């Protein structure tokens, strides 16, 4: 079978699979390149090249995984976030475009010329911590997660982007493992070294926020493959915010920034939880859904 024939057959199979038709051609091509270890240019250059039986079998196996709704990113092990290639495994949420908006909002709020101490709560793949460290060369970042498997992935991503000297990863239930003066952490050689004031300059989080009752409404690709601990937060999806917001208030410096990604229909509840904070505002995503909450510690 030639490359072109294999691609046509796989596209048809994905096209006929419920929920997968929209991206069938794109996914079939991506998985072909992944199975063969070839570039897009090589795929286009020689469509009549014959696949070996081993290549055909490897490609078929990937297509079967995709037909079972496994996210393409877990199959290829890669997702781009804020222009940075990240490793992803089923231990971590696949970073989303909405979260790039959270990163963009934080970058717009902070003075990148200053040494900064930033905390990323629920780091998952490390997406937020790594994007912020990449764009804020004077920042020292601590990234926490409950999941040690996620922290292993996040650390490998930091190493991939040569950011291990400015990001440290810690297992923690929200801020529980961080003493209140923990923001004095200075990465070796960090320009933040020697700073004396207490408190984080910014705490950023994209926590789990899906109500448990919404489980059945989620796409199987999400519900059956992404980590449960990354998705759900109690009956109304607000359990983590209720615990995190008071902890963040105690740990931020005066006028420090709290930046949260929030879920569908959560604006009013988050506004109430942040009612005694300063400069509260919400940013909409491209679908006009309030997606990012920003507030300053009074």
Ligand X SMILES: C[S@@+](CC[C@H](N)C(=O)[O-])C[C@H]1O[C@@H](n2cnc3c(N)ncnc32)[C@H](O)[C@@H]1O
Residues that bind ligand X (CB under 6 A): 92-93, 95, 99, 121-125, 127-128, 144-147, 150, 173-174, 206-208, 229-230, 240
Q: Is 193 or 228 the residue whose CB approaches ligand X more closely?
A: 228
Q: Is 84 or 92 the residue whose CB approaches ligand X more closely?
A: 92
Can you read off the two tokens belonging to residue 91?
Answer: 């231990």
Q: Is 4 or 243 the residue whose CB approaches ligand X more closely?
A: 243
Q: Is 46 or 224 the residue whose CB approaches ligand X more closely?
A: 224
Provide the total of helices (H) and of strands (E) in the chain, helices listed first: 12, 9
Task: Supply the minimum distance, in Å, between the C-beta of residue 190 and ligand X.
Answer: 22
Task: Supply the minimum distance, in Å, between the C-beta of residue 123 and ligand X.
Answer: 5
Question: Taking each helix axis from N to C terminus, what angle separates 148-160 and 127-135, rounded to the nearest 10 degrees?
Answer: 30
Task: Supply the minimum distance, in Å, between the C-beta of residue 287 and ligand X.
Answer: 18
Long-range own/partner contacts, residues 286-289 (CB < 8 A, 24 or more apart): 289/264
Q: Is 58 or 93 the residue whose CB approaches ligand X more closely?
A: 93
Q: Is 35 or 150 the residue whose CB approaches ligand X more closely?
A: 150
Task: Supply the minimum distance, in Å, between the C-beta of residue 159 and ligand X.
Answer: 17
* Alpha carbon distance 108, 251 (integer Å): 22
Task: Supply the minimum distance, in Å, between the C-beta of residue 69 and ligand X.
Answer: 19
Can you read off the two tokens belonging to residue 213?
Answer: 């009752």
Q: Are 140 and 115 in contact (CB under 8 A)?
A: yes
* Alpha carbon distance 88, 95 (integer Å): 9
Q: What per-residue string of b and e applies to 188-199 under the rule 16 or more CB within 10 Å gives b?
A: eebbbeebeeeb
Task: Supply the minimum distance, in Å, between the C-beta of residue 284 and ligand X.
Answer: 18
Classify residue 79 as exposed, middle or buried by CB count within 10 Å of its CB (0-12, 13-18, 19+).
buried
């Amino acid at each position: 079978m030639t490359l072109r024939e294999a691609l046509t057959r796989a596209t048809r199979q994905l096209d006929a699979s419920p929920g997968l038709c929209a991206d069938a051609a794109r996914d079939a091509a991506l998985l072909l390149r992944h199975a063969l270890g070839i570039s897009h240019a090589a795929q286009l250059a020689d469509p009549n090249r014959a696949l070996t039986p081993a290549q055909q079998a490897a490609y078929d196996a990937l297509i079967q995984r995709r037909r079972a709704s496994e996210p393409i990113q877990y199959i290829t092990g890669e997702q781009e976030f804020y222009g940075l290639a990240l490793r992803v495994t089923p231990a971590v949420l696949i970073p989303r475009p909405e979260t790039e908006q959270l990163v963009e909002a934080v970058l717009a709020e902070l003075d990148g010329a200053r040494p900064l101490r930033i905390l990323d709560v629920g780091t998952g793949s490390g997406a937020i911590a790594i994007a912020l460290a990449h764009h804020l060369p004077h920042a020292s970042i601590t990234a926490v997660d409950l999941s040690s498997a996620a922290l292993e992935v996040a650390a490998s991503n930091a190493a991939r982007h040569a950011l291990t000297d400015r990001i440290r990863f810690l297992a923690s239930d929200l801020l529980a493992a961080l003493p209140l003066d923990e923001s004095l952490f200075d990465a070796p050689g960090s320009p933040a070294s020697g700073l004396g004031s207490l408190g984080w300059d910014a705490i950023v989080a994209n926590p789990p926020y899906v109500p448990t009752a919404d489980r059945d409404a989620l796409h199987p690709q999400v519900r059956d493959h992404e980590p449960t601990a990354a998705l759900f937060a109690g009956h109304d999806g607000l359990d983590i915010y209720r615990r995190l917001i008071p902890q963040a208030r105690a740990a931020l410096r005066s006028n420090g920034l709290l930046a949260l990604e929030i879920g569908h229909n959560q604006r009013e509840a988050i506004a109430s939880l942040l009612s005694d904070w300063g400069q509260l505002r919400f940013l909409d995503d491209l679908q006009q859904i309030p997606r990012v909450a920003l507030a300053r510690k009074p």
